[in-house]
Amino acid sequence: MSASKTWRGVALVGVFFTLLATTGLTGLANAADEPRLIKPVNATKDDVNPGRTYSAPFLAVDPSNKKNIVGGFIEFRTRACGLIRSTNGGASWKVLDSQPDLKSYPYCLANNSNIFHAPVAFGRDGALYLATHAWDTPDSRNKVGVQVAKSTDMGDHWTTVLARDARPTKDEAQENVRPITGMIVDTKSGAQDIIYVTVRAGFPNTASPNSKIQQPWVLISRDAGKTFEPPVIITGDYFKGAGITDKALSARTTIPGTTTTTAVAGSLGATPNNAANFGSAGNGQGLVMDKSGTLYYAWLTASANVTPSVPSAVLLSKSTDKGKTWTTSEVRPPEYNNRQNARMAWTPGGGANGTLHLVWEYTPTPTLNSYAEAEYVRSTDGGKTWSEKVRLSDSDPKGFFGSYLPNLTVAPNGRLDATWWDQRDDPGIRSNDVYYAYSNDDGKTWSKNYRITDQTVDRRFGVWGNNFDQNSPPGMVSTDEFVMFAWDDTRFSRGDQANIQAGDPVAAGNGIGGGVQDIFVSAVQFKAIGAGTSKTAKIIFAGVIGLFAVGLALTAVAMISRKRSGGATPAQKPVKKAPTPATKI
């Protein structure tokens, strides 16, 4: 054998061992490097229905096996909810055939406005819960209830009960219990899972000047989803507190073009500071629970029977008795800058009782229509005081690139993850992307922003705000090893999928809303699943290092041999450093 063939053969063996060490357990030996972005996959690729239109799903990971990940979704055009599932850490997905809806309430969508997620969460012993709306075509579009489905086989079969039945309600007591704004499963208190589902309850058959204001409710099951108690109004007596309603009314400004009329004597409108005129805006509120079982619920206020309307405040409600009673305090004062979509998370560090984290849409310039930014605040004293707000996006503020519908989740190790829809990459066609940032110090500092989507989502297709008004935050779930993202994507609506600036569907006569909308999933990986300091992990790590060393040694021998024979040594690529946290609070 020639010297050239000899060094080539040794080099190939060296490369083999090196690749085996570095790709088989990616992240185990490189935990200090910048997190890796995993290529997105189409979670709904098996659905070839030309009318498919999926929402961004609500994600949950099996606490007993991190490779099992599920997502609750709404399929808008069939008005049905369902589940996607991965059993290999997100590498591939399946849309399950099972239907969680009751036969008497076959649809989870009745109205096109402001539907967010179909929340899904794991309980004890592998139990899986999915909360959806309950509706059928004979019902009024403004008469929607809530159903909760339970599965003990990862979504293959469901047992479903009504958490709130709106069908019997009528006249001024008619209920429209939507949207569902959160679900938490307490797996540590009591003998069975306690399920908390938060909703906004509306009363559409009442009208100004005596309209009944929408209220935030919590629906509670203390027997693992078999039965649900009557709803608890989360507001409690907050608006009856001294000066609360007067403060909200004083924050109003005259809106150009509006007129103020004198309300009918004796009506709610005739007494604007009446507590009955104040309630919940309700779109995308945040429900979390700390390690002691204390519940926290963030929400934005709204008003009724008052002209001009009262600007929204951001409030925090807290329950220390398993949701039976609530106390409420102010996070942000009433101002027109507060828009929607408060989301919360809790980390165990930062304070004696951990740290509360809150994001919401905030517009620094309310005069700019539809422009908002994802803002963040934190509290280390259980919500008594809050930090100054911080802008999550690191795009140039002068560019007025919107960041919308933020979401928060927390990994078991305390890493705080934030995601949102971002418009900085919009080429001017009405589109957005999923962006991400994380914090390893309970929100004191944040990483740089990462773009998660590999293609900008063209919102001239599919279902989105100002079309059917279906606004869903990007789905997200966190583990120590990775954070998983899921979003609704319209790329298969275009003929040339590599060119985001394809022909305008409006100009082509197709109108906004044509095409399809799939679910795409990606992840940011911090380390390999199963990496750790256990004896087994140490043995595996030692084996990896041994393989890596053998590979390097064989490669070095090959390079020396090649140099002696006049060959060239390939250049090495620099290793990326971990991002420097920025944006201190």
> What's 391's DSSP letter?
E
Percentage above 70 pLDDT, the chain: 78
SS3 label, residue 58: strand
**Identity of the highest mean pLDDT range in 41-55, 60-74, 110-124, 493-507:** 60-74
Q: What is the pLDDT of residue 469?
A: 64
- Read off the pLDDT band of 281 (50, 70, 90): confident
- Say whether pLDDT at 355 is over 80: yes
Residue whose C-alpha is closest to residue 232's, from 215, 207, 249, 213:
215
Other C-beta atoms closer than 10 Å to the C-beta of 1 total 6
Q: State how far the Cα of 298 lies from the Cα of 285, in Å rounded to an integer.
A: 6
94: β partners = 85
Q: What is the pLDDT of residue 531?
A: 54
For the chain, which residues make up each domain, given as ranges? 1-33+538-585, 36-245+271-496+512-525
Q: Which residues contact 441 (CB under 8 A, 6 or more apart)?
A: 349, 350, 581
Backbone angles phi, psi at 111, to 5 degrees: -135, 140
Q: What average pLDDT does this structure show over 228-244?
A: 96
Q: What letter represents residue 532's amino acid?
A: G
Q: State how far the Cα of 404 lies from the Cα of 426, in Å rounded to an integer.
A: 14
36-245+271-496+512-525 has which fold?
Answer: Neuraminidase (2.120.10)
Per-residue pLDDT tens digits for 42-72: 999 999 888 888 999 999 999 999 999 999 9
Percentage above 90 pLDDT, the chain: 67
The model scores a pTM over 0.75: yes
DSSP 145-188: EEEEEEESSTTSS-EEEEEE--TT--GGG--EEEEEEEEEEESS
Tokens of 86: 């991965």
Q: What average pLDDT does this structure show over 417-428?
A: 95
Q: State how far the Cα of 433 lies from the Cα of 424, in Å rounded to an integer.
A: 8
Q: How far apart are the first and last CA of the chain?
A: 66
SS3 label, residue 250: helix
Burial of 538 (0-12, 13-18, 19+ CB in 10 A): exposed
Query: Token pair 């609750």 is at which residue?
Result: 72
Top pLDDT among 286 and 38 is at: 38
Q: What is the pLDDT of residue 501?
A: 39
Top pLDDT among 248 and 11 is at: 248
CB 296 within 8 A of CB 233: no
CB 458 within 8 A of CB 429: yes
- Say whether pLDDT at 495 is over 80: no
Q: What average pLDDT does this structure show over 512-527?
A: 87
Other C-beta atoms closer than 10 Å to the C-beta of 192 total 17
